[in-house]
Chain A
Amino acid sequence: MDSKDDEIVSAPLEENDQRPPESEIQTADVPQAPAPINIPAVPKPKPKKAPELPIFERRNWLIHLHYVRKEFDVCKSIIKDQLAESGGMCEYAVYTQALVLRQEGRIQESLELFQTCTLLNPQSADNLKQVARSLFLLARHKAAIELYNEATKLSERDWEIAHNQGVCYMYLREYKMAKDCLSQALSFKRHEISYVMLGKIHLMEGNIEAAIEIYKQAVEYSPENPDMLTTLGLLYMQVGQYQRAFENLGNAMTYDPSHVKAIMSAGSMMQTHGDFDVALNKYRIAAVATPESPPLWNNIGMAFFGKKKYVAAISCLKRANYLAPFDWKILYNLGLVHLTMQQYASAFHFLSAAINLRPKMAQLFSLLAVALTHLEDTENARKAYEQAVSLEQKDPSMSLNFAIFLHNNGDKSAALKQYKEFETRYKIQRASNPNAGDQEMQEAAQKLGTILQVGENLVWNEGGQKAVSPPGNQDSDRPTTTSSVNVPPPSTPVGREPIATPIIPPYDPYDDDKGPSRMGDTPLPPPRGLTTMKTEFEFRSQNSDLDGLPAPPEGPPSYDDAMSSGHGKEEEAEEDFVHPPPT
């Protein structure tokens, strides 16, 4: 029996209010414009006079009306009547009931009803699609895909089918199939959500460029969607195209001034460039919307730190830490602020907590070493420095501090060696970013160089601004005068952290700095936690053997890999200097 035909025949008999055929119901979810006011009064009178027709469908229009108004209780009671009358044979009533159940979060029951629908009307692609969708919502992705395949036979060139299949494949981690399906879906019909999903898959595969392309198309298609603009902005940040990133984030904030995500990322950019007050103003808006967000409080704290308001910084950071005790970045910052305030015991506490959580972060060891130095634990300070320079082969400041430490402790030859290491690293860094290194570091280095009677012809003597701008570096938006404000280049530990990818927040928050690799972690939280625990354990048991370990794996692949071979020997480093930084 085909309900649609019945319905069209029956409807005029009862009411002049035409029931839309089922195909329209598909779109009915869109919040409905207010219905004509007299409608609720209608149901009773007329049908009584008309000859009572035993047609199951006669109240479909009413069901539909209540459904689109989200009056689910009324809807359900009418459906109950109608099903009782029809002996459960009214397809439309069952269908709507299933929809209502789904909206109430009762997916399993909803699935059973949709299955009934397919029995009542096996020819309807819609019914099949709904069954498949229910399976999808219940995480039975394989079964869902099969049913969608069935449905394709009934309805060709269907955007919905292709899209949902793609999403199912994504959950099954069959990315190639997923991409094919989604591209197909987009060829049938352009739709934001398909773009979003496709972009997400590219990110899961770690292909940021491709993701950017997709999001670019998406933003072209619907330019006023702040979510997509923000995502695009974040992606641009990730590849270092700050100008474009800022444009997109700015657009996002124009359309939605209180868009927290956009504020967070734009704020962090402003902060990086030293615009602390502007960033703080933005954060203020965000703090109203998400008062319990640890990253937000972290950034606010660091903005105060930038403004040299240390007490405020500490109190914000401590709030962030209270809300997220597992977050090593916050602990790092707390350590840094306390070091700056010369509260070394507290700094030590925070840093050692951070190291417990994340045993292989060079920056942590480097700061810990400073804290230990001032707590007069020379032996452990030296060990910490050794850890730091072996874990991180790029950052010159660590080597410099180590050299300073060695010098202050009277170990001249080791200091000299470390100083050489520093020079090497510094040159490499300048090669990729001429503005790298701040005044203070340069002064300290010069001072140490003089004492050690080395430091002949270092790069900074020529003046930083003149250094050759390397090819492929797109930091065009970076202010040229940076002498007063230190803009950390993307290659310093700060920027080196790959920006956590925005989409599908992976479940395990503590792996957030693993970069694109973790994108594969959706839908199932992976056993990665296990491995980190293991390394933590290893760290404890064989503390000193870490020197032999390779460079941390979690950096973005290209540049680090290229550089990591160049540690230690100056000659090699000189060669690396010639390497064009990868794009």
Chain B
Amino acid sequence: MPETKQTIKEVLPKQGLLYQEDMPTVVLCKPKILPLKSVTLEKLERMQREAQETVKQQEQQQQQHGEKDFFSDYS
């Protein structure tokens, strides 16, 4: 064991790897930053969704009613 423990720094390469020429390669699609939604758009989408749900509910109700009517008529 050396009594005076000197730390020496590693030697890093002074030059990296270079390319001598360009090879055409396949290309990837790039990452996508997602656009934020404007208030108007969010409201529009919300309204649309709500409307769709209401329609669905109404249709269901109608169906149920229809079925009931159907049964009440023929039973």
Contact = CB atoms under 8 A, between A and B. Distances in A.
Please determine if A and B sit in direct contact within the complex, based on CB atoms under 8 angstroms apart: yes
A448 B5 CA distance: 11
A418 to B, nearest CB: 13
A444 B8 CA distance: 7
Interface in A281-327: 290, 293-296, 298-299, 302, 305-306, 322, 324-325
A407 B14 contact: no
Given A404-B8, A404-B10, A447-B8, A264 B17 contact: no
Contacts, number: 126
B26 interface: yes
Interface in A183-237: 234, 237
A488 interface: yes
A509 B13 CA distance: 26
Interface string A422-449: 0000000000000000101100100110
Contact of A336 (B5, B10, B13, B22): B13
B36 interface: no
Nearest to A501: B21
Contacts of A451: 2, 6, 8
Most central of B7, B18, B23 by chain A CB within 10 Å: B18
A412 B10 CA distance: 16
Contact of B11 (A293, A324, A444, A492): A444
A400 B9 CA distance: 11
A329 B17 contact: yes
Interface string B26-42: 10101000000000000
A28 interface: no
Most central of B8, B24, B30 by chain A CB within 10 Å: B8
A268 B25 contact: no
B16 A265 contact: no
A480 B13 CA distance: 20
A497 B21 CA distance: 13
Contacts of B11: 397, 400-401, 404, 438, 440-441, 444
A333 B8 contact: no
Contact of A408 (B7, B17, B26): B7
Nearest to A442: B11
Given A324-B25, A412-B2, A237 B20 contact: yes
B15 interface: yes
Contacts of A497: 17
A502 interface: yes
A298 B19 CA distance: 7
Interface residues of B, number: 26
B37 to A, nearest CB: 26
B22 A272 contact: no
A296 B15 contact: no
A3 interface: no
B22 A494 contact: no
A340 interface: yes
Contacts of B15: 271-272, 302, 305-306, 486, 488, 494
Interface residues of A, number: 63
Nearest to A441: B11
Given A408-B7, A410-B1, A444-B11, A509 B16 contact: no
B23 A512 contact: yes
Given A302-B15, A444-B8, A499 B2 contact: no
Nearest to B31: A322
B20 A336 contact: no
A353 B51 CA distance: 49
A309 to B, nearest CB: 14
Contacts of A448: 8
A268 B18 contact: yes
Contacts of A512: 23
Contact of B18 (A272, A400, A444): A272
Contact of B13 (A261, A271, A494): A494
B21 A405 contact: no
Contacts of A367: 12
A549 B22 CA distance: 32
Contacts of B17: 298, 302, 329, 332-333, 493-494, 497
Interface string A390-408: 0000000100110011011
Contact of B9 (A237, A302, A444, A486): A444
A339 interface: yes
A336 B14 CA distance: 9
A373 interface: yes
Contacts of B20: 234, 237, 264-265, 268, 499-500
B16 A333 contact: yes
Given A370-B12, A401-B11, A509-B23, A325 B18 contact: no
A260 interface: yes
A298 B10 CA distance: 24
Contacts of B25: 294, 324, 509-510
B33 to A, nearest CB: 13
A499 B7 CA distance: 38
Given A410-B5, A447-B6, A451-B6, A295 B12 contact: no
A471 interface: no
Contact of B24 (A333, A444, A486, A505): A505
B13 A397 contact: yes
Interface of B: 1-2, 5-26, 28, 30
16 contacts: A234-B21, A264-B19, A264-B21, A293-B22, A302-B16, A329-B19, A339-B12, A370-B10, A397-B11, A408-B7, A410-B5, A412-B2, A488-B13, A494-B16, A497-B17, A500-B19
Given A494-B13, A509-B24, A509-B26, 17 more contacts: A234-B20, A261-B21, A265-B20, A272-B18, A302-B16, A325-B28, A333-B16, A333-B17, A340-B12, A367-B12, A405-B10, A440-B11, A488-B15, A497-B17, A499-B20, A499-B21, A500-B19
